[in-house]
Every structure is written in structure tokens, then in C-alpha cells.
């Protein structure tokens, strides 16, 4: 359940305390939101759980939503690193897809559980979804830059980096929604759903649809 914001390194006492407070706030927010709902929870309650003032809560997070969404930073950073590590010969969409698979391949079960929990929250809480989508769009802007650099095209004149980043981003969002809809429970479920979505995108766009199902029908 805890956020696990990898804080190793030689940090001062001060820094470690801050990290602990932050983690505790995320934890408390997650718990209260799941138990009583996002709307029914006040930032003061979250702060009280951790025994800090509301003002302190807002020094750690810019908004109530951010306390939950913070758990995604970790994954986003990892993803960018994985992408940078993919061989340059891979076509952009392949590199992105593989980077995403690489990312989820090495997340531990607890992190995955937290993610699934957040996805559930997103689904039945519009303001949370809105904040999440905005984050995603900022993440996509960074993706555009990386893709442009990796392929050597100019994102100001060439639309393709934007298009691929956007398509990819929306597919990974679909994967999340589908995970929630299917009631995925563990890392394995999540990974296979993500894999399916990535695999089916291009065929869905380019191949005729037999009504019987996609090229690789679900084994049921």
C-alpha cells in the first residue's frame, strides 16, 4: 500500500523525514479516498491522519488530486529511462511499446497493487480523472521530445512524433481502463492487458475487422 518512493542514497535526516511525511500523506490519502471516496474526504482529514497541518499538506502537493497522482511519477520516470535504453533501430511505436513492457516487467507486486488501486479511483471520480489526464498530456509532451531526438526529426515541422506519442499515450490509457473493467488483480493480469492493447492497435487501424474478434482472439 505504501508509496515506496525509492529514497536510498546518503540523505540527511531532514530529507528522510520529508520523504517519510510525503509517503505517509500519499498513504493516508489513498486509504481515505478508497474507504470514503474522494469527494467525501477533506484535505484536513488527510493531514490529521499524518499529524501535520493542512498547510503542510499543500506544501507537499499542489492539490488534493496530486496526493494520489504522485504515485505515478515513479513509473513515468522509469518509463522514460526504459525508452532511452531501447535500440535506435526500433521504429518509434515499437520502441514505445517495448519500453512500456520493460517498465511493467520489473515493477514489484506492491507497486502494481497501488497502481491498480489508483486506476480504480480514477474511474469513479471525475476530478481525479481530469487531473490525471492533464498529467498524461504533460508526460506526452516529454515523449514528443524524446521521440523527435531519437529519430532525428524536428517536432516543430514534422507531425509524426506528436501523432505517435498521442496514439501511444491513448493506448496505454485504454489499457488502464480495460484493466479496471476486467477487474485485473495482479501484475500478471496488468501486463498481459497492456500487451494485448499494444499488439492490437496497428491491426485495428489497418486491417479489416472480422466480427469474430481481432487477429489474436482472447483465449477466454
Give me the residues that bind DNA (CB under 7 A), please.
12-15, 17-18, 21, 41-44, 51-56, 58-60, 62-65
Q: Which is nearer to DNA, 9 or 208 (CB)?
A: 9
- The DSSP-derived string for 44-62 is HHHHHHHT--HHHHHHH-S
CB nearer a second copy, residue 53 or residue 137: 137
**Cβ-based nearer residue to a second copy, 24 or 92:** 92
Closest by CA to 189, choosing from 120, 113, 122, is 113
CB 174 within 8 A of CB 204: no
* C-alpha cell at position 36: 470514503
Query: Whole-number minimum distance, CB 81 to DNA, in Å?
Result: 25
**Percentages of the chain per state (helix, strand, coil), in multiples of 5:** 70, 0, 30
Scan residues 88-107 and list those touching a second copy (CB under 8 A). 91-93
Smallest distance from DNA to CB 134, Å: 12
43, interface contact from DNA, a second copy, none, CB < 5-8 Å by kind: DNA
Query: 56 touches which of DNA, a second copy, none (CB within 5 to 8 A by kind)?
Result: DNA
Half-sphere exposure of 185 (CA within 13 A, CB side): 0
Residues between 119 and 138 that touch a second copy (CB under 8 A):
126, 129-131, 133-134, 137
> Which of DNA, a second copy, none has residue 183 at its interface (CB below 5 to 8 Å by kind)?
none
In the complex, minimum distance from the CB of residue 2 to a second copy, in angstroms, rounded to a whole number: 27
Footprint of a second copy on residues 201-220 (CB under 8 A)? 201-202, 204-206, 208-209, 211, 213-214, 218, 220
List, in order, residues 6 or more apart from 202 with CB less than 8 Å away.
93
The packing angle between helices 126-151 and 71-85, to 10°, is 20
Q: Quick one: which of 7, 4, 26 has its CA closest to 17?
A: 7
| Contact predicate 45/25, CB 8 Å | no
Positions touching a second copy (CB under 8 A) are: 91-93, 126, 129-131, 133-134, 137, 151-153, 156-160, 162-164, 166-167, 169-171, 173-174, 177-178, 181, 196-197, 200-202, 204-206, 208-209, 211, 213-214, 218, 220
Amino acid at each position: 500500500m505504501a508509496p515506496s518512493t525509492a529514497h536510498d542514497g546518503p540523505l540527511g535526516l531532514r530529507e528522510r523525514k520529508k520523504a517519510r511525511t510525503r509517503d505517509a500523506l500519499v498513504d493516508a490519502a489513498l486509504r481515505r479516498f478508497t474507504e470514503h471516496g474522494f469527494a467525501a474526504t477533506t484535505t484536513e482529514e488527510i493531514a490529521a491522519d499524518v499529524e501535520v497541518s493542512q498547510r503542510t499538506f499543500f506544501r507537499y502537493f499542489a492539490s488534493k488530486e496530486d496526493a494520489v497522482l504522485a504515485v505515478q511519477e515513479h513509473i513515468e520516470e522509469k518509463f522514460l529511462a526504459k525508452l532511452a535504453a531501447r535500440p535506435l533501430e526500433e521504429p518509434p511505436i515499437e520502441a514505445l511499446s517495448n519500453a512500456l513492457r520493460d517498465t511493467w516487467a520489473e515493477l514489484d507486486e506492491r507497486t502494481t497493487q497501488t497502481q491498480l488501486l489508483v486506476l480504480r479511483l480514477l474511474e469513479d471520480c471525475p476530478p481525479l480523472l481530469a487531473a490525471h489526464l492533464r498529467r498524461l498530456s504533460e508526460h506526452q509532451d516529454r515523449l514528443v521530445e524524446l521521440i523527435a531526438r531519437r529519430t532525428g526529426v524536428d517536432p516543430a515541422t514534422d507531425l509524426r512524433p506528436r501523432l505517435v506519442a498521442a496514439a501511444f499515450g491513448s493506448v496505454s490509457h485504454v489499457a488502464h481502463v480495460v484493466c479496471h473493467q476486467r477487474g485485473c488483480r495482479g501484475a500478471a493480469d496488468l501486463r498481459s492487458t497492456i500487451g494485448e492493447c499494444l499488439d492490437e492497435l496497428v491491426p485495428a487501424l489497418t486491417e479489416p475487422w472480422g466480427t469474430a474478434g481481432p487477429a489474436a482472439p482472447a483465449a477466454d
